[in-house]
Amino acid sequence: MRFIRPIDLVGIERCSPFRWRKLQDDGAFVIEPPRGVRDFLGLVCRVEGERVTLQIAFDRGHGFDEASALLFKMYPFGFYHLPPAALVEVRRIRIRIEGERGDFTCAIVETERPLPVAAMHFLFNLRYQNVKALTAAGTGRHGSLALARDNVRRISRFFRDVAGGDTLRSQQDERDILHRIVAVQTIAAAPLRVAMREAQPAGPPLISFVSPAYETKPAYIADLVGSFVAEEAPYAELILVDDGSVTPETLAALAEAATRPTVRVVTMAANGGIAAATNAGIAAARGDWLSFIDHDDAFASGAIPVIARAIAEHPAAQLFYTDELITDAGLTVTGAFCKPAFDPVLLSGVNYINHLSVFRRERVAAIGGLARERDGSQDYDLLLRYLAGVSEDAVIHIPFLAYRWRRGEETYSTVHRDRSVNNARLALAAAYGDAAAGVEPATLLADLHRVRFRPAPPPRVSVVIPNRDSLDLMRRVSRDLRERTDYPDIEIVVPDNGTTDPAVLAFYEAERETWGGERFRAAIVTEPFNFSAMCNRGARLARGEVILFLNNDIEVTGPEWLAEMVECLSYPSTGIVGAKLLYPGGRLQHAGVIVGLGEAAGHWFVNDPADDVGPMGRLAVRQTLSAVTGACMLVTKTCFEAIGGFDETMFPIAYNDIDLCLRARSAGFRTVWTPFATLIHHESASRGSDETGENRQRLMDDISKLQDRHGTRTLIDGAYSPFYDRRYSRPNLIVPPGLPAARPAVFS
């Protein structure tokens, strides 16, 4: 290991060997990187200001590249490192300390030994990044030996990953990753600007963007118009609808905007409100496609040509929508909505589509445009009416951060929140028509929604509980189903693979009497453990229209969970429903499965707080997912029989639930996850963890089989975003290698 001296200082002076004074807000070191192909570059920094960041930019022979620069989180003490892969072909590195002026400590070192790098990084994470050892309460695991093994394996994997250069993401500030995504997509979209301009025929515009404006700040009009003009898209027009403004500054700004060749201003005689002004813009629009942008927002660079390309590539589509950036009043990016592919179930709980939505003009006109009585939720109402009768495959998600949304500004929907929420629920009730009994607040977020479906004769639910011995678990789950579950027609089927415990056998007989007649049946067959075979055997014995596969280590927390799961079958094509499961300590164990996590499949937000609502409130509402856990999985008998049940041969123990859900989707059946059915899962309480001991190799073999059958090594789940890292259960941002492709619905 050796220390590196800067070859240049910009606004920084040396006070002592490792003590520096920053003379300007963006003082910087310039250094030459290590020359060895295996060398790591490390920085040990101690700063005293609270508003300080560390930016690292690279010069590969063409000057310092701001687009590829890295911005690291800064702490009172920090260790940061760059692996060899980040230093390839780098001639110079600029290390900029941005923020408050003053003294700080910094040492720059290089080494080819990964062990000290990993040790420093691990200690830094322990102190500042809340990396902790696993505990039984946090994971649902039992036994100190198993926990010790898991922690050793976890820490060993961390050291191995650092040595392989796999930890840049964990060091970077998420806002910086977001800025890098914006920079990368801007650069990648630049060639499209020329290509789409050349590809569009002369004549009427392809897209009309409509923006109602009322007493808008001139600076906001300038931002919106400037961002539109910068797109250099003669095939698009921007229509500003002045909704009766009287302020001279606003009128002057609108008049200035009207001098642009692709910008038009429509003037309302008097203030009529958002819906009326937007409808006037729709009437004036000439494009085949319509989109709406608020007067205080702006386009992200590259947005219009990327949308135009998607329209050209999907000629049968009826609706497009993009991701969006969240900004402050100065349009500085503070966050983002990275959206899933189209999901009408999710849309029934939250208008996650929002900005930018791109509609066919003729269809918007045919349904009467925006409804004035839905002010505050007029966009949600329009979307729901527009989508009536539209195939899910005709709705295309464009994973591009196309919209800059000034979230901090006061809008009608925030000022008149109660009216806006009520109008949203009226729109949902109208959209679902006779099927809906009403729309209620979501439990975790009162502004979001839960559509309640009209009660129908409840189908019999056959609860299939695989078991062997496990008297205490069976006693609890049977009692919970009988005494703590409010559902009128339940039968229990217990496929048992060899219980010999007299107490359990006696329990089976007693439960048969307690439940009455044939509503409790235990079928004992002594055979090797094969979870899929046990479930299939139970399903063959089931007489209900619906089968609930339930682990014996599930604990009921409230009475309506099963009725809620059955109610979710009211969504079209639904064949499978999953619940929200918590660890005994109260943290999240299952909020649905994202296929492709870890190149296989995994629960997202695992071990996070139970009240975490997720991105855009997604964990607070129902949604379509590619898979749910078999620990509590409701399946219609029609679906189960159509796909031939669980695969006993390829997936006898692990990933059988994921495989079942993916085969069900291929056969045309939707999987829905609901947060309104919440239970406790004492995970692996009866047979132990799959991730320890002799089970480990078998688990790895099952992962390989899942990857081969369903392509999970490279799959990006439609319920996930291409901007999310597939290595972690929490959706951390990552810079994709290029512009992600537009994609159809989650359930397609």
C-alpha span between 534 and 491 (Å, rounded): 17
Structure confidence by residue, pLDDT tens digits, 167-178: 554 455 666 788
Average pLDDT over every residue of 144-148: 58
pLDDT of 649 reads 95
What would you measure as the largest C-alpha separation in the chain, in angstroms?
Answer: 89
pLDDT of residue 145: 61
Q: Are 652 and 531 in contact (CB under 8 A)?
A: yes
| pLDDT band, very low/low/confident/very high, at 437 (cuts 50, 70, 90) | very high
| Enclosing H/E stretch for 696 | helix 695-710
Provide the mean pLDDT of the chain: 88
The tokens describing 69, both together, are 């620069």
DSSP string, 560-587: THHHHHHHGGGSTTEEEEEEEEE-TTSB
pLDDT digits (tens, 9 = 90+) for 530-571: 999 999 999 999 999 999 999 999 999 999 999 999 999 999
Cα separation, 603 vs 590, whole angstroms: 6
The residue among 502 and 456 whose pLDDT is bigger is 502
> CB under 8 Å to 440, separation ≥6 — which residues?
449, 450, 452
Place of tokens 């909704």: 243
pLDDT at 148: 63
* Domain at 461-683+692-710: CATH code: 3.90.550.10
pLDDT at 250: 96
* Mean pLDDT, residues 721-737: 87
Domains 180-436 and 461-683+692-710 are alike in CATH topology:
yes
Residue 732 clears pLDDT 80, i.e. is over it: yes
Strand partners, 43: 80, 108
Look at residue 107 in the predicted model and tell me its pLDDT.
Answer: 86
Residue 658 has pLDDT above 90, yes or no: yes
Judged against a pLDDT cut of 50, whether residue 110 lies above it is answered with yes
Q: Are 404 and 331 in contact (CB under 8 A)?
A: yes
347: closest CA among 538, 674, 622, 570?
Answer: 622
Distance (Å, rounded) from C-alpha 139 to C-alpha 122?
21
Phi, psi of 499 (to 5 degrees): -65, 135
Angle between helix 274-284 and helix 378-387 axes, rounded to 10 deg: 50
pLDDT tens-digit map of 369-402: 999 999 889 999 999 999 999 999 999 999 999 9
pLDDT in tens, 123-136: 766 655 444 444 44
Q: What percent of the chain has pLDDT over 70?
A: 88
Neighbour tally for 538: CB within 10 Å: 24
Percent of the chain with pLDDT over 90: 65
| pLDDT score at 315 | 96
Q: Is 217 helix (H, G, I), strand (E, B) or coil?
A: coil
Q: Where are the beta strands (DSSP E) in 137-218?
A: 207-213
Architecture of domain 180-436: Alpha-Beta Complex (3.90)
Separation CA 250–CA 245 (nearest Å) = 7
Between CA 63 and CA 73 the distance in angstroms is 24
Give residue-wise pLDDT tens across range 244-290: 999 999 999 999 999 999 999 999 999 999 999 999 999 999 999 99
Per-domain residue ranges of the chain: 2-171, 180-436, 461-683+692-710
Write down the pLDDT at residue 23: 85
Q: Does residue 21 have a pLDDT over 90? A: no
Closest listed residue to residue 213, CA positions, set 289, 266, 136: 266
180 with 735: CB under 8 angstroms?
yes
CB 622 within 8 A of CB 346: yes
Q: Is the pLDDT of residue 584 over 50?
A: yes
Instruction: State which CATH number among 2.60.120.680, 1.20.1250.20, 3.40.50.11540, 2.40.50.140 fits the domain covering 2-171.
Output: 2.60.120.680
Beta-strand (E) ranges in 73-126? 77-82, 92-99, 102-111
Rounded Cα distance between 379 and 369, Å, is 10
pLDDT value, residue 180: 80
- pLDDT tens sequence across 90-103: 889 998 887 777 78
pTM to 2 decimal places:
0.82
| Banded pLDDT at 452 (limits 50, 70, 90) | very high
Distance (Å, whole) CA 297 – CA 227: 10
Q: Which residue has the higher pLDDT, 700 or 636?
A: 636
Nearest to 701 by CA among 644, 628, 652, 658: 652
| Mean pLDDT, residues 450-471 taken together | 95
Burial level of 188, CB count in 10 A (0-12/13-18/19+)? middle
Let me know the angle formed at the C-alpha of 614 by 632 and 420, rounded to the nearest 5 degrees: 110
Task: Please report where in the chains the tokens 């809620």 appear, as a residue.
Answer: 564
Give CA–CA dist 374/378, Å, rounded. Answer: 5
Check: CB of residue 578 under 8 Å from CB of residue 632: yes
Instruction: Output 520 or 109, whichever has higher pLDDT.
Output: 520
One-letter amino acid at 368 equals G
Rounded Cα–Cα distance for residues 610 and 632 (Å): 17
DSSP bridge partners of 188: none
